[in-house]
Amino acid sequence: MVSAQRRPRGETRRQILRLAARWLQQRGYHGFTFAQIADALEIRSSAVHYHFPAKDDLVAAVFARYRASFAWWSQQPVQVQASPATRLERFLDLEARSADNEQVSPLGVAGVEYASLPAAACSEAEAFRDDLVAWLATTLDAGREAGEFGFVGEPRDQARLVIAAAQGALQLARVHGVRDFHAVRRAMLGNLLTFRACKTS
């Protein structure tokens, strides 16, 4: 067993968070224990408790990590400088990674297990949802202004539709395979582009 003290400073905590995030999306909140994390990382259970005194603390930190990762991704120059259509496609590419790994989305986990999640995790999940809606609404609105997208109604409503479709597609992918996710992705983008074409013809 590798001693946590011999790892680079902060690395044990990062490894715990990465593994917990993956298992949360694959197995759900009740699908893993601290002992299983310790076994997988070849550390003592006490090392997991050192960084996260209780599972509630760990899962709240995982949702905070989802938020931080998305914020970092969305603020990269390559994203900021891309067209709205490209930004949306890249967002769906991010979601596709979950399908490739047989995972549901973080918000999918929160939606299914909301009643049993600790309060701090619920708060982080709600904030993450707000972050996604805000970013998608801005992207969709900019795309409509630029003539790249066509849709009726408020951009925030369309943003919720994109999130719901992506989450549902990930659930389908776990049952029928990743091709279902890509089918929903094509339909979603096609509808936005088709509506734009109808409005400009």
Give pLDDT tens digits for 2-31. 444 466 667 999 999 999 999 998 899 999
The answer on pLDDT for 201 being more than 70 is no
pTM: 0.85
The answer on pLDDT for 105 being more than 90 is no
The answer on pLDDT for 37 being more than 80 is yes
Domain boundaries, the chain: 1-53, 60-200
Return the CATH number of 1-53, one of 3.30.429.10, 3.30.2130.10, 1.10.10.10, 1.10.10.60.
1.10.10.60
* 60-200: in CATH 1.10.357.10: yes
What is the per-residue DSSP string for 166-193? HHHHHHHHHHH-HHHHHHHHHHHHHHHH
Burial status of residue 76 (CB atoms within 10 A of its CB: 0-12, 13-18, 19 or more): exposed
pLDDT in tens, 142-158: 999 999 999 999 999 99
pLDDT of residue 63: 93
Handedness of CA 25, 26, 31, 37 (dihedral sign): negative
The answer on pLDDT for 101 being more than 80 is no
Average pLDDT of the segment spanning 94-114: 83
Handedness of CA 189, 192, 193, 194 (dihedral sign): positive
Average pLDDT of the segment spanning 34-58: 95
pLDDT in tens, 55-74: 999 999 999 999 999 999 99
> Lowest-pLDDT range, 38-52, 60-74, 108-122, 135-149?
108-122
CB-based contact 196:140 (threshold 8 Å) = no
1-53 shares its CATH topology with 60-200: no
pLDDT of residue 83: 95
Sequence letter at residue 157: D
Handedness of CA 143, 147, 151, 154 (dihedral sign): positive
